[in-house]
Amino acid sequence: MSSAVVVSSENLDGQQQSSSTPVIPAAENKVNLLGMSRPELEKFFEDIGEKKFRAGQVMKWIHQYFVTDFAEMTNISGKLRAKLEQICEIKAPEVVHRHYSKDGTRKWVFRVGEGAGSLVETVLIPAEDKTGLRKTLCISSQVGCALDCSFCSTGKQGFQRDLTPDEIIGQLWMANYSYMEEVPVAERERSVTNVVMMGMGEPLLNYDAVLSSMQIMLDDFAYGMSKRRVTLSTSGVVPKIDQLAKDIDVALAISLHAPNDELRNELVPINKKYPLAQLIAACQRYIAKDGNESTRKHVTIEYVMLEGVNDQPEHAQQMIKLLKNLPSKINLIPFNPFPHAPYGRSSRNRIISFQKTLSDAGFVCTIRQTRGDDIDAACGQLVGQVADRTRRAEQWQKKVTQRQEILRTQG
Ligand code: SF4
């Protein structure tokens, strides 16, 4: 049997590109090896009476050649392959929808449980830079999110559950596999160059699974990604930023979105628990942990540009003050409006003027190119057709009305 992937014929929005390929039947109690880090896999092999070096061999087949059938692992004895076939499986989450945009952006919706709400999204955005073609994958870490940032469509779905390591790494596996599906196994290679943990959910609130997944991303026996190319983006779970600094060396991004506590309390409510002074201090500690490492030379600051809300000249001045002692690169993100969003996107001129103020003050400040608009793809604002199963839709509508009222009175 060739490497197979589970793709349902269900299509959420009637667009083309969903397709069906052979489904791997899985016995209920088989162990899924996809999300195991090397130490976990080594222990697994020892536990079944095998040498632990088998872990590295199997990891390469899974994460570098995208093989899901043990029969194709030709450097492993037939006896061991038969044993593995019996007791384990390599199974990515079920794809219920996929769409490839004209500009190269790709998007997948995965089912990770029962019911309409058990869906997560993954988006791949290609871009040319001086190092060549970058393919950046925006990965989800939770089904829904408990943090309820007011500009985020994931927040309004509420929190369902944490993703498991195989569901997290499965997104990276699937994105790579999508380029290699038709390529003979021996010629397969890894296509995704960058990962941002910036999809649905707050990654630091699913800490262990995210950490384990990032270890697989960096492992030379798996994806072998450069630590500079793996970025964890958080809305500001301060104690876990300190924990992360101890556990792994990856790039850090902060979803800032507001330069003062009053506004950030409204846009990113976790700010009430960990206000800006604490957050900036945690970022400084993260960098100080190993200032010589290229990943830790700066923190990326993400700032979504919301018309009339956080895009005024005084906000740019407050940013300058807030970030003056934090080595940082600022990424301004034009808001990607979605149905019932209580905000609009700042005008191009407003964004450019905001950028100029920050650049003139000495910050590296870029504007994120909007990509994949034809498939609603934007990291951090994953919208899609995920069912809205909570009562938050009503609260959302209330916020829309309030916001419209404020904008009207401001003229
Ligand atoms: S922006 Fe991130 S942390 Fe905030 S609600 Fe959305 S997914 Fe959660």
CA–CA dist 133, 291 (Å, integer)? 28
Tell me, what's the pLDDT at 388?
38
Tell me the pLDDT tens digit for each residue of 112-168: 987 767 899 999 999 887 778 899 999 999 999 999 999 998 888 889 999 999 999
**In this model, does residue 15 exceed pLDDT 80?**
no
Candidates 256, 229, 249, 245; CA nearest to 284 is: 245
Does residue 381 carry a pLDDT above 70?
no
Q: What is the pLDDT of residue 341?
A: 85
Ligand 1 centre to CA of 34 (Å) is 26
Structure tokens given for 259: 């330069």
- Domain ranges (residues) in the chain: 29-87, 92-396
User: Do 151 and 346 contact (CB within 8 A), yes or no?
Assistant: no
- The confidence band for 403, taking pLDDT boundaries of 50, 70 and 90, is low
Contact in structure between 107 and 122 (CB atoms under 8 Å)? yes
Expressed in angstroms and rounded, the spacing between residue 295 Cα and the centre of ligand 1 is: 23
Note whether 193 and 229 are within 8 A (CB): yes
Residues 303-329 pLDDT 10s: 999 999 999 999 999 999 999 999 999
pLDDT of residue 118: 87
Q: Which of 65, 63, 37 is nearest to 52 (CA)?
A: 37
Percent of the chain's residues with pLDDT above 90 = 72
What CA–CA distance (Å, rounded) separates 365 from 301?
Answer: 9
Q: How confident is the model at residue 407 (pLDDT cuts 50, 70, 90)?
A: low
Task: Provide residues with CB under 6 Å of ligand 1.
Answer: 145, 147-149, 152, 154-155, 200-202, 235, 255, 380
Q: Is residue 84 a contact partner of residue 27, using CB atoms and an 8 Å limit?
A: no
Tokens of 385: 């057709």
Question: Which residues partner with 127 through β-bridges?
Answer: 134
Catalytic residue among 121, 167, 266, 302: 121
The answer on whether 113 is annotated among ligand-binding residues is no
Domain range 92-396, its CATH number among 3.20.20.70, 3.30.499.10, 3.90.1580.10, 3.40.640.10:
3.20.20.70
- Identify the DSSP state of 85: H
**Active site (annotated) includes residue 121:** yes
What is the tens place of the pLDDT at every residue in 72-86? 999 999 999 999 999
Cα(78) to centroid of ligand 1, in Å? 47
Question: What count of residues does the chain have?
Answer: 411
For 29-87, CATH number out of 1.10.1040.10, 1.10.150.530, 3.40.630.10, 3.50.50.60 equals 1.10.150.530
Burial group, residue 366, by CB count within 10 angstroms (0-12, 13-18, 19+): middle
Better-scored residue on pLDDT, 404 or 236: 236
379 assigned to active site: yes
Tokens encoding 77: 């004895």
- Going from the C-alpha of 29 to that of each of 32, 33, 71, 86, 130, the distances in angstroms are 9, 12, 20, 10, 48
pLDDT digit string (tens) for 36-46? 999 999 999 99
With the most atoms of ligand 1 within 8 angstroms of its CB, the residue from 141, 149, 159 to mutate is 149
Is pLDDT larger for residue 342 or for residue 169?
A: 169
Q: What is the mean pLDDT of residues 344-369?
A: 96
Residue 132 or 286, more confident? 286
pLDDT of residue 153: 85
Rounded distance between C-alpha atoms, residue 157 and residue 143, angstroms: 9
